[in-house]
Amino acid sequence: MCNNLKHPHWGASKNGHHRFLPPDFSDGVSAPRRAASGRELPSARKVSATVHNDHGFHDHAVTVLLVAWGQFIDHDITLTAETRDPRTRKTPKCCEGNAHPNCLPIEIPHGDPFFAKHEQRCMNFVRSPAGLRYNCRLGTRDSFNEISSPIDAGTVYSNDEETLKTLRSFKGGRLKMLPVFEDFGMKDLLPLKLEDPDEGCIRPSEDVYCFLAGDLRVNEQTVLAVVHTLFVREHNRMADALAKVNPHWNDETLFQVPKYNHFVTKSRELNDIALSKAIHLSRSFILGDEAHHGCGKATHYV
C-alpha cells in the first residue's frame, strides 16, 4: 500500500522494523546479547518473575479493555514475521530438542511461582527470522514487518487480498459472521477459522474452532476477540443502513464505503487520541508514575 506519494515505501509491508536504540548483539551482528562481563544473561523468566510479582492488586482506574485496545492497535501496525519449521510449517518446538538455528528456549528456574506447579522447566521461544534492512544495506540483524504500519483497519480487513476474500460474504457489502445464537435474539459472532484451524489457536479438541478475523492474533485473549467482533458488527451495521437508502448500490460499493469510513475514522481518532493521550495514560497506568517520570534512564547488566 502507498501511504506517502513522495515516499511510497514508507509503512509498506515486508519492510524491516526501525529501532529506537542501536542493537547490542554479542558478536556485533546477530548473536544474542550477553552481559558486560561476557557471561550469559539470566533467564528471562527469572527476571520477569522477580521484577513483576503478581500481588493480586486490582487497579480501579482502568479496565482490561486498556490491554485489549492496545493489542488491537498494535496488531494493526505490526506483525513481526515468525519462524516456521521447514518440515512441518509450524512454530519449532525448541523445548523438545529441535535444533532450529532460531531456537532460544527460556529456562524456567526451580521454584517458579507459577510453572513449578505444572513441573515445567522450559518455555518455548523462537527468534523472528532476519529480514532485509532499509535500502538493502548491509549491517546487523533486523526483523521485519509482515503488514503495513499505518493505522488502516487492517485488523478488520487484513492487509492481504486473499484473506480479505475469505472474510467477505459478497452479499450486501457485509463481512461474514456466525449467527449461532440468532434464535435467542442475540447478535452474531465472528466466523470460525476452518482452514488451517491450529494456526494461532489452542484447541482442546478437533471439534472446537477459533475465530477468523483480519488479523490472525484475534484469538490471543477473549477481550481482544470482543473488540474485533464490535468492529465487524459495525461494518455490517453501516452496510445494512446504506443498502436501505441506496438500494441501487451493488455489493462492492456497499462493502467499500463502510471500509473507507472505518479506515478514515479509525486513523483520525487514533492519531488524535491514541498517539497522544493514550500514550501518556499508558505510561502512567501500565508502567507506573515512577517509570513514566524516569523514562529514558537505563543501566547495563553486569
Beta strands in the chain (DSSP E): 106-107, 122-123
Cα dihedral sign, 201-59-274-253: positive
The number of beta carbons lying within 10 Å of the beta carbon of residue 197 is 15
Query: Shortest CA distance to 162 belongs to which of 112, 93, 92, 214?
Result: 214
Cell numbers placing 238: 453501516
Query: Looking at 18, 58, 75, 248, which residue is catalytic?
Result: 75
The number of beta carbons lying within 10 Å of the beta carbon of residue 300 is 7
CB-CB contact of 68 with 227 (8 Å): yes
Residues in CB range of 9: below 8 A, 6 or more apart: 15
Reply yes or no on whether 55 is catalytic.
no
d(CA 128, CA 138): 18
d(CA 269, CA 24): 36
Half-sphere CA count of 85, side-chain side, radius 13 A: 12
Residues with a catalytic annotation lie at 75
